[in-house]
Structure 1
Amino acid sequence: MGSITLGFQPADSIDVEELDALVIGSGFGGVYQLKKLREEGYKVKLVESGTGYGGIWHWSRYPGARVDSHAPHYQFSDPELWQNWHWKQRFPDHNELRAYFEFVADKWDLRKDTYFDTHITAAKWDEAEYKWIITASNGRIFKATYFLPHCGLAASRVFPNWKGIGSYKGMMVHSSYWPHEQPDLKGKKIAVVGTGSTGVQLSDAVSKVAGELVVFQRTPAMALHMRQVNYDDGEEPITKAEVEKCFKGRADGHFGFDFNFLGKAVFDVDEAERLATYEALWKEGDFKYWLGSYTDTLFSMESNHEAYKFWREKTRARIRDPRIQELLAPEKQPYPFGCKRVPLETGYFDMFNKPNVDLVDVNHTPIVEVTEKGIRTTEKEFEFDIIILATGFDAVTGSLTSIDIRGIGDLSLKEKFQEHGPTTYCGIATAGFPNMFFINGPQAPNAFCNGPTCAELQGDWIADVMNRLRDAGVSSIVADEESEKEWVEHVESVAYSSLLPKAKSWYMGDGIPGKPRRSQMYLGGVPNYYTKLRSCASEGYKGFHFQGLKA
C-alpha cells in the first residue's frame, strides 16, 4: 500500500494514502463503485462512517424498518449474486438487507478495500497537483485523483429545534440512530414524531407492543397497503429466468423498475374502467398504484384527484373514528397524491382503532416545548417513557454539504448550494469541483429511481469517464457552468410541468427551513436520464472541460 509523508508536518509526520479514487458510503452506490473500479484496474478504497455495509440499512434498525421496493428489483444484477441469493420476503426487512450486503461483500471481496468507522470531514482540491486531499475525523488522510462521495439521500439527520429539548429525562432517539441492541418497548408510553415513510413503519410496529402510543402528525401520509409475502425455502418471487429479464427491463422503466405508466390518461377511459384499473393496481400491493398508473396522474390536478378519491375511500373504510378519519384521509385533498413520498404500510391506519393509540395533529395543537416528563402541546402535557424522532433528513444535499468540500479557488460546495440551491450537471457532477462525481446526487433521478438500478447506471458511467481520461492522459474533468445552468433549467422545467411543486416535501427541499426551494431530483425518467448520460459521453463529454493534459 503506497503512502507519502506530508512535508508540512514539522513534528509527528502524517501518512497520506495515495489512491486513484476514494469512495464514500457503503450503500448500493458506493459498494458497486468499489467493485467496478477495481475491475477496471484502479487503486480505490471505500470509507464508511458506520461499522458495516448497507448504507441507510446499516443505520435503519428501528422496529418495522423494511424496503418498499419489492423483490427481486432491489438487488444488484450480477448473476453471481442473484443466482445464489434467496429472499425471504417480498419486501425484505432491515435484517435481511444487511445480510444481503454481507453476502455481497463476501462475493465481491470488498472488506480488504474498506475502512469502517471512518467519517470524512473535509476534501480540498489541490490545483497544482490535480488531486483531492481528503481528511477523516479519525486522522486518516487520503490523496486521490477522484473523489466520489456516494453518500446517499439520507445521511444527514434532522432534529427538531424544540424549546426544552435537553430537559427530557426519558429516552429520546432519532429513528436512524436506533440502538443496535433493541430497547425494551413493551408496555411503555411512546411518542412517534413524524409520519413520513419511517414514521408510518415505526408507528405500526410500535403499536403492537406499546402500552400507549401517540403519533404526532404534521401532514397526513398517503400510504398504500403493502402486500407482503413470506417465501419458503426454495420458493422465489419469480423464476431465475424471469429475474434476468427483470434486470434487462429495469433501465427501460421510467422509475428503474420493470414496469411503466399505463400509456393512457385518466379520462381516456370511463369511470367503470378507471375504478377497475385502480382496484387492480391497488391489489398489487406495491408502488404500481403510484408509479404504474395513468400517465397524467402526477401532471393534472383533476386526474390526480381521481387517484386521491379512490385512495381516500379505501383508507377511511379502515378507520372507525370520524375525527381520525378526517385527520388521516381528509375529505378535502391536502396535497397532490404522489407528490410527497408515498409509504407502504401493513397496518398503519388500522392501528388507530386500538384504544392505546392516539393521533395529535400539530397544526391544530402545536408542540410548545419538551418537558422533563414528555411533550407539552397547546392543549395538554403528554408523559412518555420514550420519544422517537422520525423527523427525517436534510435529504439529497445534506450528505454532501455536511462535508467541508472545497473546489477550484477554495469554492465551498456548501456555500454554493446554500446560495443557489443544488446546481449540478447531469445530477452527477457540479461546476468548480473537478474529478468529483456522486451517485444519487442532486438533480439525478435518485428518489424516483430504484436504488440498485441507478447505482449501476451511474457507477458504470463514472468508471467510463475515468477510463477515457486515463487513456487520453488527462488529469482532470470539470463541468462547465453554462452546461450546469442548462441542466438545472431542464430539471426545473420538468418538475414544474408536474404537480410536484404544489406539495411541500423534501423532493423540493422543503424539509429544511431556509433551504432554497428547488427540485432535488430529475423527474424525466430513467430512460431519458440515461440517454442524456450516453449522449454526453458519445459527444466527447460535452458539457465538461478538461485540464492537465499530461506529456
Structure 2
Amino acid sequence: MGQFKRDISGTNTDYAKTKNDTYADNLETEVLIVGAGFGGIYLMHKLRQLGFRCKIYEAGKNIGGIWHWNCYPGARVDSQIPIYEYSMPEVWKDWTWSCRYPGYEELRKYFDHVDKVLDVRKDVAFQTRVVGAQFDKPSAKWVIKTEDGRTAKAKYFLLATGFAAKRHFPDWMGMDKFKGEIHHSSFWPEGVDVKGKHIAVVGTGSTGVQIAQETSKDAASVTVFQRTPNLALPMQQKPITEDEQIKRKDQYAEAFKYRMTTFCGFQYDFVDRNTFDDTPEVREAFYEERFRLGGFEFWLANYKDLLFDSDANREAYNFWAKKTRARISDPVKRDILAPLEPPHPFGTKRPSLEQNYYEMLDRPENEVVDINMTPIIEFTEIGIKTEDGKHREFNVIALATGFDAVTGGMKNMGLKDVDGIELSEKWKIGTWSYLGMTCAGFPNMFFLYGAHGPTAFSNGPSCIECQGDWIVDAMKKLKDEDIKYIDATRQAEEEWHRKYMSANIPGKPREQLNYAGGIPLYEKECREVLENGFQGFITA
C-alpha cells in the first residue's frame, strides 16, 4: 500500500531549506501564516503592503495550496477564468490561460508567475508542518510548534489551510493487503500508468468524476463505486487564445468588482424571476441555454427561487435528470448515475463539472457499483469484494474519498485555546466560530476559506479576497488603535452558529458548515462588526 507510506509533502521540485530566518528555530515574526495557497499568499501580500512582517509555514514543497497537491488524472478547476484568479492587476496584466477551465499543470505555472510578481517564496518555510499552537497571554504572542521540533512566536496567527486540508481515508478491511497501486487522490504521484489496466475509482465527488472521466480514455476498464450520485453539470470546456484575453483585459477590473456583488462570487448570478413565472416552454428554453453556456450557470445563474422553493428545485432536477439520462444507454447505469428521484435537493451540494463523464461510464467495459445496495466488504490482494459476493480484480485503485472537509485541517494542527483545550476537542460535538474567521479562546487567530464562511458555496478566490480583506483591515485597526489582542466571545459564536453537511465522515456531527446567505450579505455582516468597534470581541 505504498502510496500511504510515501512522503506526503508531495512530488514537486524540492526547494532546499535556505539559511534565511524563515527556517530558523525560535523564529520571531509579527505574523505567521499557515498555508501557501491562494489564501496564504493573498494575506501575506496585503499585509506586507501595510508594513507587517510575515512568514508562511507550508507543509508541501511548493506554493499553490491544493494545486501543489493535486496531480491526479483530470485534476482541473471548476471556476472559469479570469474569475478563478487574483484580482490584483500586477498579477493578471501579464498572464493568459490556454482554456476556460485550466488543469493543475497550468495552475502550477500560474503560481510560479505569482511568485515572480509578488516574491512569495523567500518568506515561505516549505516542508514545515504545524503540530501545536497556543496563545500566551502574558506576552500576547502565539507559540507555534512544528513537526521537526522548531518553535516560532508571532503576534498574529493566520490559518489559510483551505477547506480540504485533511484527507479522509475510509476504514474498509484489508486496504493494506492490496498488491497493486492504491492512491488517495490528494497523494497521487506523477506518472501512474493506467493504459490497458483495470481501474477502480472509489467515490464520486468532483475528484472521482475527474479521475473516472480521464482514466477511461486509456484504461482497459474503469469501475466506479458510488455512494451518492454526483449531479454533475456540463463544463463546456474550450480553448481561449492569448489575443482573445488581451482584448478583454480592459474589462477585468470591472469583472473582478462585479464578481464580489454576486451570490457566490462568479461572473453571473441568479436571474430576477421565479421558476413558475415563466411558461413551461420559456422555462425549458431557459434551462437549455444554461446547459449550453456550461459551467455553474444551471446552478448559479438559474431562477432566484431554485435554492429556496422545493417545487422550483424539483423542476430544475427533473430537467437535469432528463438531459443526463438521455446520454446513458445502459438502463442500470442510468438509474444509478441519474435517478428519477433526487438523492438530495439540487444545488445544496456543490455539483461537479464534467466533459464526457456519463458517456465514458456508459461504455460496456466500464461498471458503476451502487455501494448503498452492494456495500464494499473488503479489499484483497488483487481487488475489492462486495456484499453480493463479487470479487472484482484491479491493477490500480483510486481513493477519491474526499476530505474531512471544512474543519479537518484546523482540527489536525494541535491548536489549543488559552485554557489548553484542543480545538479538536471543542469541535467534537459541533463547529463554533464567529464570522467564519475567528474562534473564542483563540486571540489574534484568524482563518479563511473554512467553517461558517461562504466557502463551498463560492468561487474560491472571491471568498478568499472577501475574508482576506476583512482580516487585513481588522489587523490594521488593531495596530492603529494599539490593541494587543482581540478574542471572540462565546456569546458571539453562539449567535453566529444559530445563523446556520459533513456527510462523508463517520461520527462527525451533521451540521451546516457553510454560510448560505451569499458573499454580499456575508461581507455586509462582517463589515458591520468592524464599523461597530469589534462588536462580539473582547479587546485588551
Q: How does the TM-score come out when normalised to structure 2?
A: 0.94
Q: Secondary structure at the match of 2:292?
A: helix
Distance 2:319 2:158 in 1: 44
Report deviation, 1:440: 0.8
Query: Is 2:310 the counterpart of 1:310?
Result: no
Q: Is the contact made by 2:97 and 2:242 (CA closer than 8 Å) also made in structure 1? A: no
Report deviation, 1:355: 2.5
Query: Is 2:191 the counterpart of 1:198?
Result: no
Report deviation, 1:120: 0.8
Equivalence for 1:402: 412
Q: Secondary structure at the match of 1:410?
A: coil
Equivalence for 1:474: 483
Distance 1:303 1:15 in 2: 58
Q: Is the contact made by 1:23 and 1:148 (CA closer than 8 Å) also made in structure 2? A: yes
For residues 445-503 of structure 1, what are the alpha-carbon distances to aligned partners after superposition, in whole Å with 9 as ceiling and x for unaligned?
A: 0111211112122112111111111122221101111111111111x2xxxxxxxxxxx
Equivalence for 1:505: none
* 1:500-519 pair list within 5 angstroms: 508-519=501-512
1:238/1:249 CA distance change after superposition, 3 Å:
farther
Q: Which runs of 5+ in 1 are unaligned?
A: 4-13, 493-507
* 1:35-184 pair list within 5 angstroms: 35-179=45-189, 181-184=190-193
Distance 1:311 1:2 in 2: 55
Name the aligned partner's letter for residue 291 of structure 2. W
* 1:511-550 pair list within 5 angstroms: 511-547=504-540
For 2:37, which of 19, 27, 45 is the aligned residue?
27
Report deviation, 1:267: 1.2
Q: Is the contact made by 2:177 and 2:380 (CA closer than 8 Å) also made in structure 1? A: yes
Equivalence for 1:371: 380
Query: Is 2:409 the counterpart of 1:416?
Result: no
Q: How does the TM-score come out when normalised to structure 1?
A: 0.92
Name the aligned partner's letter for residue 278 of structure 2. V
* 1:260-409 pair list within 5 angstroms: 260-379=269-388, 380-409=390-419
Name the aligned partner's letter for residue 69 of structure 1. S
1:486/1:364 CA distance change after superposition, 3 Å:
same
Q: Secondary structure at the match of 1:382?
A: strand
Distance 1:106 1:114 in 2: 14
Distance 1:284 1:153 in 2: 28
Report deviation, 1:231: 2.0
Query: Is 2:453 the counterpart of 1:444?
Result: yes
Report deviation, 1:2: 10
Q: Secondary structure at the match of 2:77?
A: coil
Name the aligned partner's letter for residue 493 of structure 2. E
Q: Is the contact made by 2:204 and 2:228 (CA closer than 8 Å) also made in structure 1? A: yes
Name the aligned partner's letter for residue 168 of structure 1. F
Report deviation, 1:332: 2.0
Distance 2:20 2:187 in 1: 36
1:303/1:468 CA distance change after superposition, 3 Å:
same
For 1:188, which of 193, 197, 211 is the aligned residue?
197
For 1:212, which of 221, 232, 235 is the aligned residue?
221
Q: Secondary structure at the match of 1:100?
A: helix
Q: Secondary structure at the match of 2:419?
A: helix
Name the aligned partner's letter for residue 512 of structure 2. S
Q: Which runs of 5+ in 2 are unaligned?
A: 1-18
Name the aligned partner's letter for residue 179 of structure 2. K
Distance 1:35 1:382 in 2: 51
Report deviation, 1:49: 0.5
1:2/1:310 CA distance change after superposition, 3 Å:
closer
Distance 2:166 2:312 in 1: 35
The alignment yields a C-alpha RMSD, in angstroms, of: 1.5
Report deviation, 1:160: 1.1
Distance 1:41 1:349 in 2: 52
Alignment length (residue pairs): 520
Report deviation, 1:370: 0.6
Distance 1:28 1:440 in 2: 10
Distance 1:258 1:319 in 2: 31
Distance 2:510 2:231 in 1: 23
Q: Which runs of 4+ in 1 moved over 6 A?
A: none
Name the aligned partner's letter for residue 519 of structure 2. V
Report deviation, 1:334: 2.2
Which stretch has the larger CA shift, 163-172 or 229-238?
Answer: 229-238
Report deviation, 1:238: 6.8
Distance 2:227 2:152 in 1: 43
Q: Is the contact made by 2:333 and 2:362 (CA closer than 8 Å) also made in structure 1? A: no
Equivalence for 1:10: none
* 1:445-464 pair list within 5 angstroms: 445-464=454-473
Q: Secondary structure at the match of 1:257?
A: coil
Q: Secondary structure at the match of 2:115?
A: helix
